[in-house]
Amino acid sequence: MSINKEGNGYTMTFAIVMVVVVGGLLAYIASTLKPIQQANVKNEKMQNILQAIGLEETNGVSRDEAGKIFNDYITERIILDYDGNVVSKKTNEDQIESAAKSMKDEKDAFNLEVRKYYNTLTGLMKKYPEGGAEYEAAIKEKGITYPLFVAENGGKKYFVTYFSGKGLWDDIWGYVAFREDGTTINGTVFDHKGETPGLGSKITEELFQNQFIGKIITDENSGEYKPIKVEKPGGEYNQHQVAGLSGATFTAVGVDEMMNRSLEVYNKYFSSLKTASVQPIELPVSDTNMMDSIQVVVDSTMLAIK
Amino acid sequence: MSETKEPLFSKKNKKLISDPLNLNNPVTIQVLGICSALAVTVQMDNAIVMSIAVLFVLVMGNLIVSLMRNLIPSKIKIIVQLVIVAALVIIVDQVLKAFVYDVSKSLSVFVGLIITNCIIMGRLEAFALGNKPWASILDGVGNGLGYGLILVVVAFFKELFGSGKLLGFEIFGNSVDQTGLYAIGYEDNGLMLLPPSSLILVALYIWIQKKRTPSLIDEH
């Protein structure tokens, strides 16, 4: 008995069997490989955070290694709200869960999805293009929070911030580490989803990232927040400016925008630390000293480039 | 089944592999699969992984379709082919994400876009549906290699002149520290990093290829 291969019954049966077989196969493969993929994503994040601290010990750490030594360096994982208040705090005693999305510990700064929060934020930016009190109230209402990682090494503290924004084509994100003073940058890591290779993608290169080291986010006189500007390449830069990338203006604008927007919030937290500390008079003095030395370093690098 | 069995690598079968490399190259002669050839050729390692991924999908797709060629209902044959290709591509994508995470990040959407690579659907429809499994595998290998050849050749020039490197090794010295050729004023060609330069390189390849093989030139 032969089957009528032109009939609708055969076609339907074939289609149903095919879909079930292919669907089952893909579901099996996806669920088998999922733990490995999640570990990759988690270790990459740890690698980025460690790399951003700007320590010699963690410079160039591999992805697998990062997963092992992460807790040796990162002692606290803090979530901040828009006013810079601590919402939750985890220490390296607490495990980082790598479970499925539904089981993720939302109180753990490591699990905060800043790219998701950025999408919420862009919605608010469109709604309140002028900013102002309404905009800030909306941010608080939506519960947008900011992750902060505290690293300790050799008796010194470092703060690693993590935020996201938009480049030319797609999401960009960055990890910026500050020294104990809460104003001097000690290291950065930037990454992107789909910037132009060879142009915008250069934000992932050390040449761009290392420029930020030693720059400060507060005004030298007033101590107020002062954003770091990504300027046109070529020319002189002070301690609030870095060189952008030629051919990647919009990626640089994106880096500029996401840093300014996010670091303002982190600065609120850093300032609260400063007022809580016992030496309010000594801070500005050490600041100026540091700035002088930074200026010299910047000048000499400029000469070297020329 | 009384006819004598054809040897595995008969002259006809060898031609299935060698033809797509030169005389019937899917990229330069048939001008298929150009999109990914332009986009993932900035670095050699990406081009190589992409070629392997396409080769895998093409060979497996050809084999499966060829095995099922008498079962596939003709009304939905394109859909069936699409499902097979899509399933294979998802498998490749998932495996890359699990085991070569960095490469999968830099290839990003282009692995997923193998589904729409015209070479694959073209070979399934034109060859695998009407030929035996072994011949279909060889056809897949040939076309996959033909595609990979162009990708690697284009990536070689793009990476060399665009960033002075090959497979990540610095050939012309370090452009940041100004060593090697850079010390005497050499500069990387930024155009080489952008998709348009692949068009120029592919065109040059076609020109040289046709110059060497006059039979390829259309008689119009």
- Closest-CA residue to B52 (of B101, B5, B103, B16): B103
- 3-state per-residue secondary structure call for chain B: CCCCCCCCCCHHHHHHHHHHHCCCCCCCCCCCCHHHHHHCCCCHHHHHHHHHHHHHHHHHHHHHHHHCCCCCCHHHHHHHHHHHHHHHHHHHHHHHHHHCHHHHHHHCHHHHHHHHCHHHHHHHHHCHHHCCHHHHHHHHHHHHHHHHHHHHHHHHHHHHHHHCEECCEECCCCCCCCCHHHHHCCCCCHHHHCHHHHHHHHHHHHHHHHHHCHHHCCCC
Helices (H), ranges, A54-192: 63-73, 114-127, 132-142
Q: Which of B91, B140, B86, B150 is nearest to B113 (CA)?
A: B86
Give residue A281's pLDDT.
46
Kindly list the residues from chain A whose CB atom is less than 8 angstroms away from the CB atom of residue B42.
197-198
Query: Among candidates A258, A99, A188, A124, which has minimal Cα distance to A108?
Result: A99
Contact residues on chain B for A30, CB-CB shorter than 8 A:
90, 94
Q: Write out residues in chain A with pLDDT < 50, as ranges.
A: 278-306
Between A and B, how many CB-CB pairs are < 8 A? Answer: 68
**Mind telling me how many Å the CA of B54 is from chain A's nearest CA?**
18
Interchain contact, A29 vs B91, CB within 8 Å: yes
Phi, psi of A91 (to 5 degrees): -110, 175
Q: What does the pLDDT average to over B29-37?
A: 80
| Angle, alpha carbons A160-A140-A268 (nearest 5°) | 40
Pairwise CA distance, residues A102 & A108, whole Å:
14
Mean predicted confidence (pLDDT) in B7-36: 80
Whether B48 shows a pLDDT value over 70: the answer reads yes
CA A87, CA B200: separation in Å to the nearest integer? 56
Nearest-by-CA chain B residue for A17: B80
A48 within 8 A of A164, measured Cβ to Cβ: no
* Per-residue pLDDT at A32: 92
Is residue A260 included in any domain, yes or no?
A: yes
> B134 vs chain A: nearest CA distance in angstroms?
23
Contact B20, B146 (CB under 8 A): yes
User: Does some domain include residue A28?
Assistant: no
Contact flag B101-A5 (C-beta cutoff 8 Å): no
Q: How far apart are CA A217 and CA A298, in angstroms?
A: 16
Residues in chain B whose beta carbon is closer than 8 A to a beta carbon of chain A?
42-43, 71-76, 79-80, 83-84, 87, 90-91, 94-95, 97-99, 101, 106, 108-109, 162-163, 176, 190, 193-194
Q: Distance from CA of residue A161 to its chain's centroid?
A: 6
Q: Using alpha carbons only, what angle is made at residue B21 by residues B19 and B27, rounded to the nearest 5 degrees?
A: 110
Reported residue count of chain A is 306
ipTM higher than 0.90?
A: no
Count H helices, E strands: chain A?
7, 8
Strand spans (E) along chain A: 74-80, 86-91, 146-153, 156-166, 171-178, 185-192, 229-231, 241-243
Contact (CB<8Å) B99/A29: no
Assess contact for A163 and A254: CB atoms under 8 A: no
pLDDT of residue B5: 61
Contact B71 A18 (CB under 8 A): no
Q: Please, which pLDDT band fits residue B4 given cuts at 50, 70 and 90?
A: low
The candidate with the shortest Cα–Cα distance to B177, out of A227, A301, A12, A91, is: A301
Structure tokens at A245: 């990338």
Separation between Cα atoms, residue A274 and residue A268, nearest integer Å = 10
Neighbours of A46 (CB within 10 A): 24
Residue A7 forms part of a structural domain: no
Angle between the N-to-C axes of helices B77-99 and A8-53, in degrees from 0 to 180, rounded to the nearest 10: 20
Cβ distance A113 to A171 under 8 Å?
no
Taking the CA of residue A226 and the nearest CA in chain B, the distance in Å comes to 30
Cβ neighbours of B194 in A, within 8 Å: 196, 198-199
From chain A, the residues in CB contact with B115 under 8 A are: none
Q: How confident is the model at residue B32, as a pLDDT?
A: 82
Length of chain B: 220
Q: Is residue A12 part of a domain?
A: no
Q: Where are the beta strands (DSSP E) in A193-289?
A: 229-231, 241-243
A84 DSSP assignment: S
- Shortest distance between the Cα of A32 and any Cα of chain B, in A, equals 10
Spell out the domain ranges in chain B: 24-210
d(CA B27, CA B34): 6
Structure confidence at residue B1 (pLDDT) = 40
Note the pLDDT tens digit of each residue in B128-170.
888 889 999 999 999 999 999 999 999 999 888 888 888 878 8
Residue A92 counted as domain residue: yes
> What is the residue range of A56's domain?
37-305
Mean pLDDT of B115-126: 86
Residue B147 CB: number of other CB atoms within 10 A? 28
- Which amino acid is residue A116, in one-letter code? K
Which of A107-111, A209-213, B110-114, B115-119 has the highest mean predicted lDDT (pLDDT)?
A209-213
* Residue among A168, A197, A134 nearest B38 (CA): A197
Cβ contact A5–B97 (<8 Å): no
State the smallest CA–CA distance between residue B92 and chain A in angstroms. 10
Interface touch B163/A198, C-beta < 8 Å: yes
Q: What integer pLDDT is reported at residue B59 of this predicted model? A: 93
How many Cα atoms within 13 Å fall on the side-chain side of residue A245?
28
Q: Which of A29, A40, A193 is the closest to B101 by Cβ?
A: A40
CA distance B31 to chain A (A): 24
Phi then psi for residue A27, to 5 deg, are -65, -40
Across the range B3-20, mean pLDDT stands at: 74
Unique residue bearing structure tokens 């980082």: A96
